[in-house]
Structure 1
């Protein structure tokens, strides 16, 4: 049996506060027998304070941007020291080797090993003013199985999760800083249209690809953004096994990965029954506008 957990929590620019929160969450995870813990996007240093046309940019608001850190830097090493033998997925702003290019990134690691890292591919609402885009999806062997990483808006693109499923991902960690709608926000945030989409994407991507989906998210507020929480663990049938709803907390579920795969994939053959011979337009540059009028 494997225990999966997803966190909803508020991370800011204060690195010491972040480390203290990670330590508290790691302690809780160990107490609850967690094997794999998914922390939110930008858990080291916080996310952008705003998005859209008035979003943070490297040129105009450098002081408000998350600290850019290297994968082999002291910040990641500090997290490794904190988490010990717990396998963790965590988001941060990565500084490339050229010393100035920034990526919205995530890594899966424990106290001794960084098993893999990922740079966010799909960028919403002007995020490209602050980060460069990644260019691929990897799947990494870890002590809890084969894990894929994606960040926030990636979940809106079925191709992203499908690539990882085809590469053998058993668990996909989807790390987010997903806010509520900026206009016409619902009085009850759980009913907000962006909360609805966040939850729908999580269940759909798990079911599409028949994988365990572990979705973390920021909670509370930061800058102009109000986050929707709803960290969750979803099984390969699209069933939500545990969720935090709007609040901060940890969604925890004990699962049998191998047995669940045998059961779920014995009755639904989403990967086997694909028809790649008719999917060509999906990867053709500029095909979107043509398909819309087909």
Structure 2
């Protein structure tokens, strides 16, 4: 099975974003990809600033458009996906006016799974309503789960999905360089180091495959890392991009890789939850 994670830049122009998604899906299809992870904010872009996010467009703020999770934009991506499994993030409009940083996994036959970001940094807590859990779901290529951005900072998030049977986790991010200690080179940036560390740790500690998609380029004061990757169940990077846009593509045998990783040391079975606090 061939799987891929994308690094790309998306904007407030949803029509433009749909065109870009179509191009990325077409390139992935030409490469024989079965599962594709797109970044957070693939429909409508992400925030302009994490330190002083301004929700009032009249005052110069610019929030991503809040979209109906079953609306025409999501249906358009399903039509583009056809036989492929595609995961992507967007700003979801809640029934009572809430905004959710959300993700959807779909094929041309419809939605397979949904996730609302649970962990919001303090600057974003006033803008988005948090999700209420982590749930794996069945797909034509096996059981999967999704995380959004800051969720992967917390080991319990990916562990919850693995305990729910997920063998492939898609992490969809709009992850920028450090806001407080920006390095002269992206490879030396603290957030670049953490982004890669979390991806490899979450895959290795749960012995699962992980697709890490991320925005690239700039939006407002944010400079996104790119660095999309496919990580194996031993924490090894199987494919990656760097700071520019592109596809990280890897051929994998999920059952074989995960079975080999868990043959001697099976982390999920070796847990001692009776001794863990909290």
TM-score by length of 1: 0.92
> 2:259 is matched with which residue: 262, 266, 270?
262
Q: How far apart are 1:60 and its partner, in Å?
A: 7.2
Task: Indicate whether 1:182 and 2:208 are aligned.
Answer: no
Counterpart contact for 1:48–1:56, Cα < 8 Å: no
Counterpart contact for 1:55–1:129, Cα < 8 Å: no
Task: Measure the CA separation in 2 of the matches of 1:126 and 1:33.
Answer: 40
- 1:198 is paired with a residue whose SS is helix
Aligned residue number for residue 240 of structure 2 = 243
- 1:219 is paired with a residue whose SS is strand
- 1:60–1:201 CA distance, 2 compared to 1 (3 A): farther
Aligned residue number for residue 87 of structure 1 = 85
Summarize the alignment of residues 55-204 of structure 1 with structure 2, pairs less than 5 Å apart: 55-57=53-55, 64-98=62-96, 100-204=97-201
Q: How far apart are 1:199 and its partner, in Å?
A: 0.3
Q: How far apart are 1:161 and its partner, in Å?
A: 0.4
Counterpart contact for 2:54–2:61, Cα < 8 Å: no
Query: What whole-Å deviation, never above 9, does each CA across 1:148-191 have from its counterpart, x for those lacking one?
Result: 01101111100000000000001000000000011331111121
Aligned residue number for residue 286 of structure 1 = none
Task: Measure the CA separation in 2 of the matches of 1:136 and 1:62.
Answer: 33
Task: Measure the CA separation in 2 of the matches of 1:244 and 1:268.
Answer: 30
Counterpart contact for 2:53–2:61, Cα < 8 Å: no
Counterpart contact for 1:36–1:87, Cα < 8 Å: yes
Q: How far apart are 1:59 and its partner, in Å?
A: 8.5
Task: Measure the CA separation in 2 of the matches of 1:262 and 1:216.
Answer: 25
- 2:259 is paired with a residue whose SS is helix
Task: Measure the CA separation in 1 of the matches of 2:195 and 2:56.
Answer: 28
Q: How far apart are 1:129 and its partner, in Å?
A: 2.0
Could you tell me which runs of 5 or more consecutive residues in structure 2 were left unpaired when the two chains were aligned.
none
TM-score by length of 2: 0.97
Task: Measure the CA separation in 1 of the matches of 2:54 and 2:250.
Answer: 36
Could you tell me which runs of 5 or more consecutive residues in structure 1 were left unpaired when the two chains were aligned.
283-294
Aligned residue number for residue 32 of structure 1 = 31
- 2:262 is paired with a residue whose SS is helix
Task: Indicate whether 1:41 and 2:44 are aligned.
Answer: no
Q: How far apart are 1:247 and its partner, in Å?
A: 1.4
Moved over 2 A (4+): 56-63
Root mean square deviation, CA, Å? 1.3
Count how many residue pairs are aligned between Structure 1 and Structure 2.
278
Q: How far apart are 1:192 and its partner, in Å?
A: 0.4
- 1:252 is paired with a residue whose SS is strand
Counterpart contact for 1:148–1:171, Cα < 8 Å: yes
